[in-house]
Structure 1
Amino acid sequence: MAQSMMKKMVVSGACVVVGLTRRTSARCLATTGINLSTKTKERELPAEGEITKSVFMSQSTDVFTNLALEDWMYRNMDFTKHHVMMVWRNDPCVVIGRHQNPWLEANVPLLAEKDIALARRNSGGGTVYHDRGNLNITFFTPVERYDRKYNLELIKRALFRGFGIKSVINERQDLLVRNKYKISGTASRLSRLTAYHHCTLLVNANKNDLKGALAKRETNATPSTPSPVANLVEMDNRVTVDSLQTAVGYEYLRTPALHLEDGGQNTISKQRGFQFINPTEEWFPGLAQLKSELQGWDWCFGRTPDFTVSRTFPVPAELLAPSKVYSGTQELAINMSVVKGLIDDVTLNIPPGFVESGFHGEASVITHMKGKRFTSEALTALQEAMLTRHLSSDVRKLDEKEQFVAKCFDQVVNTI
């Protein structure tokens, strides 16, 4: 019964479009009376008293499902008279901003080793770590009524009302406790008609995993700005994800839609309340396609802005020609440019002593890496290319010098 009621509510506020994709820009607004050709500034928006609110609680803990649900609602639902706050949590994952570099922002090899998902969201902002100890919140409104400060102030009020925790909003619009420790990051997405603002609250997240997952590497791209973080449970051990979800949810429902005022039970009684959301294809036709695109390599990694990596490696003395005397450390230098997640160009600068010791054919083997993904796929191509030079030999394996070169490339691609 509850599921059928929820399905009816969702469909009544949205156009259900089968096969909706990320590139689709049209919305069905037949039920709202809004003409797509009408400019945003000409829309007549309802008075505050005509707006109702809901708290949607996603029942999924999969980051790609929740990001797809967020995108589906943004594309399809009409929030003119109905503002929505969605609360959701994820299994361990790292979420990067729309224009960020995953190799710069996260320890990608560690994520694969620990089975921590990496996702790219549609909004801007910095990189965050999620696990079941995070509460994620998304505020949906018409674009004209997008108000990030209202949302953050509302969360501040919930923290103080529910747990006596004082917090401040800094110039970057992060929430801080004790004037230093970050408990929430924030980002947003705005279109001509609709906007959402989302943030994450650290409740009792695994800070060791957070630190390891967000380790940085050196490239020519611009990284996120790190901040000291704290869990809310460190401020008050009564805080849990469930209790915080309830506190923020009720603060949202007891507050009028357009200004910060405690309306109490009278305002709560006029809202649509808390509603469980089951983010499935049955409830939200087209959701599966959105999820598929969000978890694809082309979106998560291929959308990365172009970057370059440069590393130098000291060559072990035993791999150098013994007949020469060297004035300093002999170094092998690797420079690599990456375009759309694919290796576009590679240069390998080899010291003379290493060449004279018997390493040859470097130019021909590294060209096999071009066009490969900036992953172990490129290393496999390199090793296979070097092995082709051993076809006439009974032993098909890399010699010590080739192993050293392969190890250097591995460190370029797979280590921070």
Structure 2
Amino acid sequence: MSHQSLKTQIVISDVFDPWHNLALEEFLLNKVEKNQIILYLWQNQNTVVIGRNQNPWKECRCTALEEDGGKLARRLSGGGAVFHDLGNLNFTFIMDRDLYDLHKQLQVILEGVKSLGIEAEFTGRNDLTVDGKKFSGNAFYFEKDKAYHHGTVLVHVDGEKVGKYLQVSKEKMAAKGVESVQSRITNLCNYVPDLTVSQMKEKLSQSFQGLYGECSDPLLIKDTDVNLKSLYEKYASWEWRYGKTPQFDLVLETRFPWGGIELGLRLNKGCITESTIYSDAMNAALIQEISDCFLGKPFNGEELALVLDAVKVQAEDQLVIEDIKSWLKDKVKDI
């Protein structure tokens, strides 16, 4: 696709409130046009952002965060919990779905970082690393005709706060074979000591235009738009961030290579009346669909496996379905 036909835009937020910034992200997703790609750059002050299907109480020391004046936020995309402060730069690529190209999007970040003389590379499921340590994690959200891919660039994040507010489950630590969150991540200022977030923004803006074509001056969007206000209210609401934590009759949990899963069920006369799945799996919509398809079904491993067979998935998500099926068949026998 030629640069001529592509519409590019850079949007920069000058607000450090995560609820505003996530509202703006969804606002831009709603507005993105056919054949357009937007690079949105933003920062949050003292924030824990959890994935769409995560249980906040398990991921974050919520009380400590709020007592220190921090904020808990929940994004639309799947994946795990992250800590943001002003030493971290967030980027979001928002685009017409036909333009989605993960390799090219990550190339923007890699080239921006490499232009500072840092030997960064792409590793694992969706991480960018230097010397095997992660400085950028990524997550994704898809709609029928549009999508976004967002992530972090750790410039000089306060590592102690990462450990203070994030709770990493024992299973996750065992699965990753690590001691702590801090030991796996690194700040780019460890490689370029006087690096600032402003310089990083500049580098990403340049590499974005190098790969996607020139665009006019970055937009600053003010929060006077009524649609943005209602999105802000959603992201700030208790309901969206914490949701109801129902009393379950039964909770089953396990961890797969693609993510952890905690299934909470209410049962009545052997049938499932309420089903909630907490997970850091990447495909947030799939997890929601799996949870919904259990409603009204008998609590029986074979029956639940049959229900899962009916869920239509892309090839790459077939593994998720197969893993959950065999786990449930196995688990439900023992109960």
- Per the normalisation by structure 2, the TM-score is 0.68
Tell me: CA distance 1:207–1:121, structure 2 relative to 1, closer, same or farther (3 Å): same
Letter in 2 for 1:279: K
> Which of 2, 5, 10 is the equivalent residue of 1:55?
10
Is 1:137–2:91 an aligned residue pair? Answer: yes
Is 1:278–2:221 an aligned residue pair? Answer: yes
Q: CA deviation at 1:294?
A: 1.1
Q: Which residue of 1 aligns with 2:136?
A: 184
Q: CA deviation at 1:150?
A: 1.1
> Which of 215, 234, 241 is the equivalent residue of 2:197?
241
Q: Which residue of 1 aligns with 2:309?
A: none
Q: CA deviation at 1:217?
A: 5.7
Q: Which residue of 2 aligns with 1:361?
A: none
* Aligned residues of 1:100 and 1:305 also touching (Cα < 8 A): no
Larger helix proportion, structure 1 or 2? 2
Q: Which residue of 2 aligns with 1:301?
A: 242
Q: Which residue of 2 aligns with 1:175?
A: 128
Q: How does 1:74-223 map to 2 (within 5 A)?
A: 74-78=29-33, 80-161=34-115, 163-178=116-131, 180-216=132-168
Q: CA deviation at 1:273?
A: 3.0
Tell me: CA distance 1:145–1:216, structure 2 relative to 1, closer, same or farther (3 Å): same
> Which of 287, 302, 306 is the equivalent residue of 2:228?
287
* Rg comparison, structure with higher value: 1
Letter in 1 for 2:89: L
Q: Which residue of 1 aligns with 2:21?
A: 66
Q: Distance in 2 between matches of 1:299 and 1:140?
A: 22
Q: How does 1:318-333 map to 2 (within 5 A)?
A: none
* Aligned residues of 1:99 and 1:304 also touching (Cα < 8 A): no
Q: CA deviation at 1:216?
A: 3.5
Runs of 4+, deviation exceeding 2 Å: 46-49, 215-218, 220-227, 271-274, 303-309
Q: CA deviation at 1:50?
A: 1.2
After superposition, give the CA deviation of every residue in 1:271-307 in whole Å (9 maximum; x if it has no partner). Answer: 2233231330x2x321111111111111111166987
Letter in 2 for 1:144: D
Is 1:254–2:220 an aligned residue pair? Answer: no
| Structure 1: stretches of 5+ with no match in the other structure | 1-45, 258-266, 310-336, 345-416
Q: Distance in 2 between matches of 1:272 and 1:181?
A: 33
Q: SS of the residue aligned with 1:274? A: coil
Tell me: CA distance 1:338–1:279, structure 2 relative to 1, closer, same or farther (3 Å): farther
Q: SS of the residue aligned with 1:187? A: strand
Q: Distance in 1 between matches of 2:71 and 2:244?
A: 17
Letter in 2 for 1:140: I
Q: Which residue of 2 aligns with 1:14?
A: none
* Aligned residues of 2:37 and 2:95 also touching (Cα < 8 A): yes
Tell me: CA distance 1:249–1:103, structure 2 relative to 1, closer, same or farther (3 Å): same
| Structure 2: stretches of 5+ with no match in the other structure | 252-263, 267-273, 275-335
Q: Which residue of 2 aligns with 1:17?
A: none
Aligned residues: 250
Q: CA deviation at 1:223?
A: 11
Q: Distance in 2 between matches of 1:60 and 1:48?
A: 31
Tell me: CA distance 1:224–1:120, structure 2 relative to 1, closer, same or farther (3 Å): farther
Q: CA deviation at 1:47?
A: 4.5
Tell me: CA distance 1:76–1:223, structure 2 relative to 1, closer, same or farther (3 Å): farther
Tell me: CA distance 1:111–1:89, structure 2 relative to 1, closer, same or farther (3 Å): same
* Aligned residues of 1:54 and 1:253 also touching (Cα < 8 A): no
Identity of aligned residues (%): 30
- Per the normalisation by structure 1, the TM-score is 0.55
Q: Distance in 1 between matches of 2:26 and 2:141?
A: 10
Q: Distance in 1 between matches of 2:175 and 2:208?
A: 30
